[in-house]
Each structure stands twice: as C-alpha cells, then as structure tokens.
Structure 1
Amino acid sequence: MALDDHRVVVTAAGRDFGRTLAIRLADLGAEVFLSARTLEAAQRTRDEIDQRGGRAHAFACDLTDPPSIAAFARDVEERAGRVDVLVNNGARYLDGADLLSASDTDVVDTIASGATGTVLATKAFLPLLLRSDKPDILTMISSAGTAGHQRSTAHDAFYSAKNAQGGFAEILSKRLRSQGVRVISLYPPDFVNTDPLSPEWLTTPRSAKDPLTSQSLVDCVVFAISRPRDCFIKAIHFEEP
C-alpha cells in the first residue's frame, strides 16, 4: 500500500516503536512529521529516513508541556498546511508492580505524557486534520488500557495513563465520526521492537509461536489507515500468549 499522498504526524519517534513506525511509513511514501522530547533525538530518526530517500521533518515536543505541544502543531502547520494522520505514540512507560516504588515526579510525568499529552496533541492537530479528505487519529494504547487487565508489570500510573487514553479515544470516535475523522486505537500486549533497518525485517517468517513484533503492528497501522473511507475500524485488540 503506497502512502505517497499522506502527511503523517508521529509523536515520540526518536526511539523504539515511534522510530520504527516513522521509518516504515516514510518507506511507503508518506511525508512524516516526527517529534521527540529533544530535537536531537527527532533529527536522528529524520536523518535515517533521509538516507533511505524518504521525506521527514524533525521537531522537539515535550508531551508533558502544553506550550511545547502547541508549538509543534504550529510548526507543522507552517510547513504542511494539513495533516492526514496523527499517530499518538508518545507515552512514558513506568515499570513497577508496587505503587510505592515510583516517585511522585515519575507518576506525574507518566500520566501527563500519556493521558494529558494525548488529549492536547489531538486538540492541537485537529484543525489540521479537518483540512484533510482522509483524516485519521491513531493511538497506540496498550493491553494495559483494557478493563480488568493485570498481566503487565507496569506501574499503576502507566495503567492509569493507558486507560485514560482508551476512554478519550472512545468518546472522540463517536463525536468526530460525523466530520469524517476516523479514531483508531491499537491495544498490543508487550511486543518485540525489531529494527526496521535490518535486512531481515521483511523476510523473517513469523508464526503463532513467536512473540508479537513491531513489524506486525506497523502492518496493522497501515491496514487501518488504508481502508476505504466508509470503513471505521474503532480498535484493534490482540490475543495475548
């Protein structure tokens, strides 16, 4: 599926899955506007995309800082004028099954980046999405964001942030449908983040016995945003091993 006519924003794309997704979307032809908490991290991913012949622009955006989010959206508007896909990927992971194991600062940062940051990024980019004829908002949540989930060793604050993302996407999906905006949520369990620059990326066979990989998640993202506009995929859930 070619994405040559897509302008895609990916938050937290300086490393891990955000980097993986940004590189693969650019490989498919999308023009990617990627952010990271530091400009240097975003530029590293942009440079990797440039070296592969893709189109990418790097920005600093701290999802715990409202002015930083607003500035990111303004900068993208100046360069692009519109956005076709917003990928809410940014959310700090916090490990620890004991509530007392994390500092107050870590708790605030985790919830602010995942919950408040997702709401404010969506709010900031919504006017640019409404200028598109194919607007999609895709949020990388987690199986930790599903009711009753308790299989992760993540801290309670991470669970809180992910459940907040899920609730936000739920109401947003209903309220934006009449404007043609698709709101898509992915709820993956823990997965292996394979390197998109590895030659084995597209050739390594995968089976039911293997853990979920970032390659499979990228496939799901591309599938969802490439459906005809009458197809509103609300959420993608995964069976856990």
Structure 2
Amino acid sequence: MGFEHHRVVITAAGRDFGRTLALRFAARGAEVHLSARTPEAAARVREEILAQGHDADRVHAYACDLADPVSVREFAAGVGARTDRVDVLLNNGSRYHHGADLLSASDEDVVATLASGATGTVLVTKAFLPLLLNSDKPDIVTMVSICGESGHHRSDAHDSFYAAKSAQAGFTEILSRRLREQGVRVISLYPPDFDNHDPLSPHWEGAPRTAKDPLTAQSLVDCVFFAVGQPRDCFIKSFHFEQV
C-alpha cells in the first residue's frame, strides 16, 4: 500500500527506530513531519530523506523536547501552519534508562524518563488531536514496549522506564475506547528489544530470519503499515510479541 495521501507525524525521529519510521514512510510516499530533540538531528534525517529523491515540500523537520509542554505546543503549531490535518501520529519518543536497581538512577534521570515517555506521549497526542480529527483516516500509533505489559520482568530497564511504559499502556487503552466513536484508531506495539538495522543497509531486505533471531525493525514497520492500511472498520488495538 502506498501512503501518498497520508500526512504523518513522527516523534523522536532523529535516530534509531524513529529515523527508520521516517525513512520508510517517506519511501512509501507519505508527507512526513519528523521531530527530534534538537533541530540538528531532525535536519539530518530530513536531508537523508531528500537525498533519496523525495520532494522537499513533503518532508519537514522540527525540534521538540517531549518533556517540555511549550516545545510540544510549538511543534504542533509548526505542523498546523503547514497542513490542516494529520492522518497518522507516531508516538515513538521515550527516553530509555538502564539498570535493574532502583537506587542506580538519580532523581533527575527518573523525572526525565517519566516525562519523555509518559507525559510526552499524553502531551503530543493532546496537541495533535485537533489535526487528527480533521482527517478522514486518523490513526495514533504508539511504540510502547514489552515493559508496559503487566507482569513482565525480563528487561534490564530501570524501574522508571517500566513506569513510563506502563503509563503509556494505560493511556492508549483508555484513548482507544474514548476515541473510537470519532473514528480514531489507537494502535499500540509492545516489542521486546529488537534489532534496528539501518533500513538502507543490505540487511534490511531479504535477510533470512528464523524463530531464534531477535525481532527486527522491519517486522515492526510492517506491523505499522499493516494496521494503518486496514479498512476503517478494522480496529487493531495492539501488537504483542514473544521475547526470545
């Protein structure tokens, strides 16, 4: 399926999986609005997409600090100045913090982890909801994590990351129920740690995979494309994955 008629917003697209999402949606023809914590990081990904031959009028870069309400509002206003609607919002941003010992993180690290993953997801969704409601095909896609599943304990992530992801899971659950009558689909992904190969590398296409291999970014992107590409009567609420 092509996405030539989709206007897509992606948070934390300056590197890793956010960058992958931006590159892949652009390759499918979407108009991409990508954000990163710094304008330099966002601009680098935009230039990377333009180097693939994409129209400059369909690739836009913004700075957005998910922990800063003013920055989130300015991001949404910047997008709103260029378009009257958003068809897909991809909540990808969330600070990761490693460490199985609660005492290993500073108070500042705890606040930053919760602010980016939990507060940031709520603020971004709230800021972009008016533009989403202007679309006839609105989808909100959130990259949660297996750490957001009740009872999961196999990650070495810090407790604050578990808390942030659990908050995201609760938010998307209630959002899915409350926005359905307005035609907004809320889709959540709960992956374990996965292999994020560069989507332009030879590993991206055609590499053989087995049940013993880690989940790949390609599989996650394919899940997003599949869910967003379904007819509007098909509400896929979540994707859950086995951990190797």
Which residue in the other structure is 2:147 paired with?
Answer: 144
Are 1:45 and 2:45 matched, yes or no? yes
| Alpha-carbon distance in structure 2 between the residues aligned to 1:210 and 1:100 | 33
Q: How does 1:73-112 map to 2 (within 5 A)?
A: 73-112=76-115
Match of 2:161 in 1: 158
Q: Does 1:66 align with 2:69?
A: yes
Q: Which residue of 2 aligns with 1:170?
A: 173
Are the aligned partners of 2:197 and 2:203 in contact in 1 as well (CA < 8 Å)?
no
Distance in 1 (CA, whole Å) between partners of 2:31 and 2:202 is: 23
Deviations 1:130-159 (A, max 9, x none): 000000000000000000000000000000
Aligned length: 241
Distance in 2 between the 1:51 and 1:209 partners? 36
* Alignment partner, residue 186 of structure 1: 189
Q: In the alignment, which of 216, 220, 243 is matched to residue 240 of structure 1?
A: 243
Aligned residue for 2:81, secondary structure, equals: helix
Shift of 1:202: 1.4
> In the TM superposition, what whole-angstrom CA distance separates every residue of 1:160-194 from its partner, at most 9, and x where no partner exists?
00000000000000000000000000000010111
Aligned-partner Cα distance in 2 for 1:89–1:32? 14
**In the alignment, residue 202 of structure 1 is paired with which amino acid?**
E
Mind listing any 5+ residue stretches in structure 2 that lack a counterpart? none
Match of 1:222 in 2: 225
- What corresponds to 2:129 in structure 1? 126
Q: Deviations for 1:190-237, whole angstroms, at most 9, x for unmatched residues? A: 101110111331121222121101011110110010000000000000
Following TM superposition, the consecutive aligned residue runs of length 4 or more in structure 1 with deviations greater than 6 angstroms are none
Tell me, in whole angstroms, the C-alpha distance in 1 between the residues paired with 2:137 and 2:206: 31
Find the aligned partners of 1:187 and 1:131 in 2 and give their Cα distance.
28
Deviation per CA, 1:34-75: give whole Å up to 9, x if none.
Answer: 000000000111111111123311000000000000000000
Amino acid at match of 1:43: A
Matched, 1:3 2:3: yes
Given the alignment of the two structures, is residue 200 of structure 1 paired with residue 203 of structure 2, yes or no?
yes
What is the distance in 2 between the residues matched to 1:209 and 1:98?
Answer: 29
Which of 117, 120, 127 is equivalent to 2:120? 117
- Compute the RMSD of aligned alpha carbons: 0.7
* TM-score scaled by length of structure 2: 0.97
| Deviating more after overlay: 47-56 vs 108-117 | 47-56
SS of 2:40's partner is helix
Aligned mates of 2:124, 2:220 — CA distance in 1:
22
Structure 1: where are the runs of 5+ without partners? Answer: none
Alpha-carbon distance between aligned partners in 1 of 2:116 and 2:37, rounded to the nearest angstrom? 10
How many angstroms does 1:81 deviate by?
A: 1.4
